[in-house]
Amino acid sequence: MIPVQGVEGQTIAVLGLGRSGLTAAKALRAGGANVLVWDDNADARDKAEVEGFPATDLTRQNAFDGVNLLVVSPGIPHLYPTPNRVIAAAMDAMVPVDNDIGLFFRSISNPDWEMFEQPPRVVTVTGSNGKSTTSALIHHILTNAGRPAQLAGNIGRGVLDLDTPEEGEVIVLELSSYQTDLARALTPDIAVFTNLSPDHLDRHGGLGGYFAAKRRLFAEGGPDRAIIGVDEAEGRYLAGQLSVAPEDDRVIRISSGQKLSGPGWLVYARKGFLTEWRKGRQVASIDLRDIAGLPGAHNHQNACCAYAVCRSLGLAPRVIEDGFKTYGGLPHRSQLLGEKNGVKFVNDSKATNVDAAAKALGAFKNIRWICGGLEKEGGLDGLKPQLCNVTKAYVIGREAAEFALKLGDVEKDICTTMEAAVAVAAAEAQPGDVVLLAPACASFDQYNSFEKRGDDFAAQVAKVLNA
């Protein structure tokens, strides 16, 4: 655990007692703070009490008298669409609001670092899609190369639950827009921006607010090196803002699908090959086409981001390539579950928005596509360029019929349940087909999370594979 620094003797309230909130409460207590906790959920309050944190009702009048800081879990809205009532009360009482990411960055360094020949480094990864895979891939490459590394944030452990970093260690953090938007301190050594597509628009007051939340990691974080995906206008804008000249290699530009040129530091993937250019010369090239854990152009973009981070940390191209080849992928993200009679079954339940689903559809041919769920804002137009890869769609969700109507001329079955969708898709699939779960929707109409949805898909696929 990383004790929070600079809070000794202060009274600090924690709102939300899930993984990050309860860990923050423990880290604050370890730092000498008097900690008040609250969660609207009674079960969460009971768990906190077992850990020695009796609940204090932060919804009561004058609850913030004498409170120095409110620490908020990332799922709780602080501004849009409307502030949570506890956060609104804290702001009315002029109490600052922070989250565990802000506490982490103000507490991560310690006097022991002055004795290190190679101090620890913090790498942060944000963007709309690919954050988890990029973060996990960086961590895998580093550990595969024998470098000490820890993985946390929006993936794995809570940031304050990390072990105190040792000399030369790399902390890899996946950060969502919810986390970067509110953190009062952001000081990464290396920061990655994968891409941007519409998501969480209600939470950020529109696309501009969503981008602004991610931009904070760079504009206010001031990383020593910024790795920026430039396949969207926002990425090109951000890279331009952070560069002082075209040859400024503190910014590494990343692309998947287009060749980049110029005097700066460039890493791009095109036709299955990753290429690194620096100062107008090619430095290295890696064939990604047969790397099982990184299928499709979207994963090639993730590979480019991870490659750029590891090169910034001093790893050689061949060492990084070895890491690529041994990377097994993450559950629910282009995860190959198995193959039977020439038919592959792929779980991409994490494709919860149109852009992510489009990238999944672009990674395969002859797709038996399982899709549907709780549709997000923006419609399905972004899927149209990839629908040529779909042989047939099998629609799930409570509003399956309505979703199916939006798929146009694509052949489709309204299955409603995962069990029915997998059974029909498997029965109709031919050798060379891919049965792909890439919902393009949130899961909450039928499941508690995209993980639960993916687990259900895997369970139904297991029945087919074992039949």
Please check whether residue 408 is in contact with residue 463, taking contact to mean a CB–CB distance below 8 angstroms.
no
Whether 3 and 24 have beta carbons less than 8 Å apart is answered as no
pLDDT in tens, 74-88: 989 999 999 999 999
Q: Which residue type sits at 133?
A: T
Cα angle at 237 between 231 and 240, to 5 degrees? 110
Q: Is the pLDDT of residue 156 over 80?
A: no
Q: Is 133 annotated as a binding residue?
A: yes
129 assigned binding-site residue: yes
Q: Residues 53-105: pLDDT tens digits? A: 999 999 999 999 999 999 999 989 999 999 999 999 999 999 999 999 999 99
Q: Does domain 107-325 have CATH number 3.40.1190.10?
A: yes
Angle between helices 100-107 and 19-30 (to 10 degrees): 40
132 labeled part of a ligand binding site? yes
Region 392-401 average pLDDT: 96
Query: What residues contact residue 135 under an 8 Å CB cut-off, 6+ apart?
Result: 125, 151, 153, 155, 172, 173, 174
Span 335-466: which CATH code?
3.90.190.20
Beta sheet of 97-98, edge-to-edge order: 34-38, 11-15, 69-72, 97-98
Is 127 annotated as a binding-site member? yes
Angle of helix 296-312 relative to helix 317-325, nearest 10 degrees? 140
CB-CB neighbours of 205 under 10 Å = 14
The pair of three-digit structure tokens given for residue 37, joined into one six-digit string: 């906790």
**Which two three-digit tokens encode residue 440?**
């393009």
Q: What does the pLDDT read at residue 127?
A: 96
pLDDT score, position 41? 94
Which is the CATH superfamily of the domain at 11-98? Answer: NAD(P)-binding Rossmann-like Domain (3.40.50.720)
Domains in the chain: boundaries: 11-98, 107-325, 335-466
C-alpha 203/C-alpha 225 separation (Å) is: 29
Which residue carries 């970093």 as its tokens?
165
Check the annotation: does 130 bind a ligand: yes
